Amino acid sequence: MEEKDAIAALAALAQPSRLRIFRQLVEVGNSGLTPRALGKSLDIPPATLSFHLKELLNAGLLEQTREGRSLIYSTRINHMASLIDYLTENCCQGELCLVLKTTCKG
């Protein structure tokens, strides 16, 4: 991951509604959610939700797929894993983080 990508992802998550959206989508996994389901679950108005989803998409944290007439949003877990790897790349000379990475991915 490049520094500019890490900054974009962290900046996108540094907003309460976007963090809540991301966490909700992580919770549901690969199946994702429609904007309507997200908005209802998190009590976010449609126009506001649309803005936040766009920001998360632009930061590479979400992907959007179409199922019929519906848009489905889901997390790009690989991108989030790359961000975590980037942030912990040189910590503790790699010893502690190696244990944490094995625990988190295994």
Q: With contact defined as beta carbons under 8 Å apart, do 76 and 69 qualify?
A: no
What is the per-residue pLDDT for 95?
60
Residue-wise burial string across 2-37, b where 16 or more C-beta atoms lie within 10 A, e elsewhere: eeeebebbeebbeeeebebbbebbeeeeeebbebee
Query: What is the domain count for the chain?
Result: 1
pTM, whole model, 2 decimals? 0.83
Domain span at 69: 3-105
The residue whose two tokens read 């991915």 is 105
Domain CATH number, residue 7: 1.10.10.10
pLDDT digits (tens, 9 = 90+) for 24-83: 999 999 999 999 999 999 999 999 999 999 999 999 999 999 999 999 999 999 999 899
Is the CB of residue 21 less than 8 Å from the CB of residue 56? yes
